[in-house]
Structure 1
Amino acid sequence: MAEVLAAVGVVASIVQLVDFSTRVVSRLDEFYSVAKEVPKSFRHVKTELPLLRTTLEQLKAAIDTTPVADSSKKALLPVIAGCTEQVKQLDIILEKTLPETNDSWTKKAKKAVVSLHNDAKVESITKALRNYIGILTFYYAAASSTLQPLTGRSLFNNLYPFHPNCFIDVKLGKIRQWLSAPDPSTNYQKALKLRQADTGIWLLESDTYTRWKTAATSPLWLYGIPGCGKTILSSTVLEDLFQDCQDDPRKAIAYFFFDFNDVQKQDPDMMIRSVVCQLSQQCIKIPVSLDALFSSNESEQLQPPTHTLMEALRLMVQGLPIVYIVLDALDECTQREELMEMLETIAGWQLPNLHFMVTSRKVGDIEMPLESFVDERCRICLESKLVDKDIRRYVRQRLSDDKRLRKWEKDASTMGQIETALMSGAKGMCVCLVMSQYHYMLTMIPGFDGPSANWMH
């Protein structure tokens, strides 16, 4: 029943928007038939509106004839609402600025001046409509395509994009083998296991993260001392993004964990291969740029040069409505200069649909390049006052669960001393290091009969 209601709501909204945009186009056409020209600020709109109408009509036909996931229909509603709002704003401007045949020359001149003042607003509306048309085109392609690598975002379940339930085209499988990208899901799953429930909420609820997630104008950079929990926070962010992705087919996610313990995960070239590989799984069809790159190298079994993969990545991101890329532990990359050049190139694309996050220690060869293209408002220092909240939650949970301390669980004073000692020694360290200290401190309590005189020191 819910699916039927969603479909009816989407179709009705599309019909209304088609009618509305048709009226606005007619107003422009009517003016053109009299004046033989369209004001400069409206020329692009006159092109975009018919394209919007055509895209909507195609999408409606696809929904009428093709089973479309309920989540896709629900996700379409705010897109259509956004389109409607832009067209309404445009209609208001048209009413104020387009002269009518019976207007006096004075009134026409006045409207011409008003038209000039609205140029920037009309340009903004045009840009927004182009973005919405791109999203609607994506949905239309998804509804009408026979090649859908992901049969539904609900299959994600917070797992790596190479989900076993995904339909993988044979050629796409060959491309994956050709890229030979390392699998970062092992790092992600490991970090999730180490994460204490409800930690990292401060980040997800912060204004900086919310702003980056919804309207990124700059990459997001989390930095801090070794052991402050950057990788755990990366997994927290990914878990949050995967959850959003379940309910919104527009969104695609790729990620990579640089790792001192894995040679392949120290190479920036392998990072690009992994990101390209992951995003290709979330496209409606094999991206043309990647297909061409594969075809040109397949016969000679050559590996793709990094710069060609970067270009394929750029075109792939442009072809997706919303893309999130998360890169953890840049300082564990062994070729940092090359990596920073790649990141600077990606930032230089200035793609409005790309939400890009990195974590690292604050070291010179990373800090200086990042500060050149990461807005100061998009830098989060993982200092003690932020991280210690998570550590305290973890410590309290462990103290509560540890059977060896059960005899003292009613002794608030002793338990408080243990917690205070752990927290005073934490100084922003991650929970793993704190718990090493915790286990050492337990050994300093003779026979667990009570705290020794010196264990707090």
Structure 2
Amino acid sequence: MNPLNTWYINFLFFLTGNERPLCALSIRYGAARYALHAAVQPCCVPCSAWPLAHHFAFRSLCRQLIHVCNRTLASCNMDPLSVVASIIAVLQLSAKVLASLNDVKDASKDRAHCAIETSNLYGILTNLRSRLEEGGSSQPWYTAVRALAVENGPLDQFKQALETLQVKMTNGGRLKKAGEALMWKFKKEEVASILGRMEHLKTLVEIALQMDHFKLSQAIRDDTNIIRTHVPVIQSRVEKVQQDQDSTNHRRLLEWISATEYPAQQSDIIKRRQEGTGQWFLDAPEVSRWLSEAKGTLFCPGIPGAGKTMVAAIAINHLLVAAQNNSHGVAYVYCNYKAQAEQDASSMLAAILKQLVQGRPSTVESVERLHKQHADRGTKPSPDEIYSALRDVLAHYSTVHIVIDALDECRNSDGTRTQFLTKIRDLQAEQDVCIMATSRFIPEIVDVFREALTLEVRANREDVKRFVAGQIYRLPGCIQRSPALQEIVQENIVEAVDGFF
């Protein structure tokens, strides 16, 4: 029950002077009005003399009170078996928590205290269950006991405390693996909050077992303020534990699908960029057209040392900045002849899948399905399975740009490059996927991109001059002090590189 609702009920309880919980009364509008009028009459002017605003306020309060009472009557009309069912559910959870507490590796005082209190409550709740199963539901005592089981009431609070223990000890509810020990991960204030809930419920149940229905009603009313304080704390901690666990599971799934760290490589490359370089590429008409076209393909060939990888990094950086806070996705692969053994079609497709799921965490279900199919068997998804997962993820993006650097360094002796490109182009045929690839002038690769937009990568004169200007501090002091000598050095280097960078 909402603590505010409980306050309203207790408010009427005190006003009317009833010795039974008000939830057992049949309250109607007239009765509520009479109760309020009788209570306020001695210290107020007659209701006939109230200002109009007071009448409206009074009627509004009565409507709220009637709504609260109707809800409470529904809760309190539970038969004893319904209350027993609530107690049984708590007893079952208590047994699980006790088992987990006994398995905890850290034998701290807090852990022992929680185990003792849980065990004590288990015992007295069992007694209460037996008492309820013995008698009928017409006695005032049963009416009072029902208040223990109302929504967000004492039993609910104890259940939430148990769930907090269970979730945090068992790693978010995950089943313990063989040989894996449970750990005690609670702070002092968390333990104090949990023990406080246990102590309050124990007090209420002990009163109930004394068969004193009036005292029990009073105690439950007093407990309302404590509930108001502890409910948000307990709920927020359970949610925080669950969020942390979800985040950890998300990272593990993505690490399983692909261990590659292309974003880290991208960061390292872009750090080496001399400020202002590469603007010629972004300003090129071919690039502007590629960025604006649906399902566009841009091929950027170049001689060795022309700066193809830096151009790819600049393109990726531009796309990532433009894709922030919208439905555009960006993924990329840096091929490397030194890593040809690891860079097969499956691993490169999986790397793209990983990056796109990172951009849309809600799409992780596609990876979860693959994990369920393969993790226990120790196998990896096939290119077709990853392709299917990619199709599902791409549906959550309006446009996706895929950049592939150094395609010529991807092996093709076993058909890896051909298989990878085929899958990427199949995705492009179904979704709005834009592809950019850099490569040396390899005839078979050039032929694959013969119908694509083509922009050759060459060392741009202005880029070379900017780079040299940024390295002047490395040259002898006589050059550093002479702008004329610096200009000569820059021009000679620009002429010498002849397209290399």
Q: Calculate the TM-score normalised by the size of structure 1.
A: 0.51
Match of 2:312 in 1: 234
Counterpart amino acid of residue 280 in structure 1:
V
CA deviation vs aligned residue, 1:85-121 (integer Å, no higher than 9, x gap): xxxxxxxxxxxxxxxxxxxxxxxxxxxxxxxxxxxxx
Shift in Å, 1:231: 0.7
User: Percent identity between the aligned chains?
Assistant: 22
Q: Any idea what SS the aligned residue of 1:331 has? A: helix
Aligned residue for 1:309?
386
Structure 2 counterpart of 1:243, from 294, 315, 321: 321
Q: Deviations over 1:155-176 (max 9, x none)?
A: xxxxxxxxxx999644433322
Q: Assess if the C-alpha contact under 8 Å between 2:404 and 2:437 holds in 1.
A: yes
Structure 1 residue 347 and structure 2 residue 421: aligned?
no
Runs of 4+ in 1 over 6 A off after TM superposition: none
Letter aligned with residue 323 of structure 1: V
Aligned to 1:392: 465
In 2, the alpha carbon distance for the partners of 1:266 and 1:166 equals 32
Shift of residue 206, structure 1, vs aligned partner: 2.1
Residue 493 of structure 2 is matched in structure 1 by 422
Distance, in Å, in 2 between the alignment partners of 1:370 and 1:265 is 25
Q: Out of 234, 259, 267, which is 2:336 matched to?
A: 259
Residue pairs, 1:436-447, within 5 angstroms = none
Partners of 1:425 and 1:267 in 2: CA distance = 38
1:382 aligns with 2:457: yes
Aligned length: 257
CA positional deviation for 1:257: 0.8
Structure 1 gaps, min length 5: 1-164, 431-457
C-alpha spacing 1:412/1:333, structure 2 compared with 1 (3 Å):
same
- The 1:354–1:168 alpha-carbon spacing in structure 2 relative to 1, beyond 3 Å, is farther
The residue aligned with 1:11 is none
For 1:369, which of 448, 457, 464 is the aligned residue?
448
Equivalent pair of 1:222/1:358 in contact (CA under 8 Å): yes
Q: Report the residue type matching 1:397 in the other structure.
A: G
Check 1:283–1:189 CA distance in 2 against 1; reply closer, same or farther (3 A cut): closer
Q: Name the aligned partner's letter for residue 383 of structure 1.
A: R
What one-letter code is carried by the residue in structure 1 that aligns with 2:381?
A: P
What does residue 58 of structure 2 align with?
none
Taking the aligned partners of 2:445 and 2:372, their CA distance within structure 1 comes to 36
Change over 3 Å in CA distance of 1:279–1:396 after alignment to 2: same
Gaps of 5+ in 2: 1-242
1:413-453 per-position Cα deviation (integer Å, ceiling 9, x unaligned): 533332222111101111xxxxxxxxxxxxxxxxxxxxxxx
Provide the TM-score with structure 2 as the length reference: 0.47
Aligned partners of 1:428 and 1:186: how far apart in 2?
A: 28
Shift of 1:217: 3.3
Cα distance change, pair 290–424 in 1 and its aligned pair in 2 (3 A)? same
Q: Secondary structure at the match of 1:195?
A: coil
Q: Counterparts of 1:412 and 1:419 in 2: how far apart (Å)? A: 10
CA offsets, 1:9-43, max 9 Å, x none?
Answer: xxxxxxxxxxxxxxxxxxxxxxxxxxxxxxxxxxx
**Correspondence for 1:286:** 363
How far apart, in 2, do the equivalents of 1:368 and 1:245 lie?
Answer: 31
Distance 1:310 1:352 in 2: 12
Decide whether the 8 Å contact of 1:265 with 1:333 is kept in 2.
no
Q: Render the CA deviation track for 1:163-200: whole Å, top value 9, x for unaligned.
A: xx999644433322322431113321221122111111
Between the aligned partners of 2:342 and 2:307, the Cα distance in structure 1 is 19
CA contact (8 A) 2:328 2:398 kept: yes
Q: Name the structure, 1 or 2, with higher relative contact order (CA <8 Å, separation 6+).
A: 1
Distance 1:167 1:393, change over 3 A: farther
SS at match of 1:222: strand
Residues 323 and 355, structure 1, Cα contact 8 Å, conserved in 2? yes
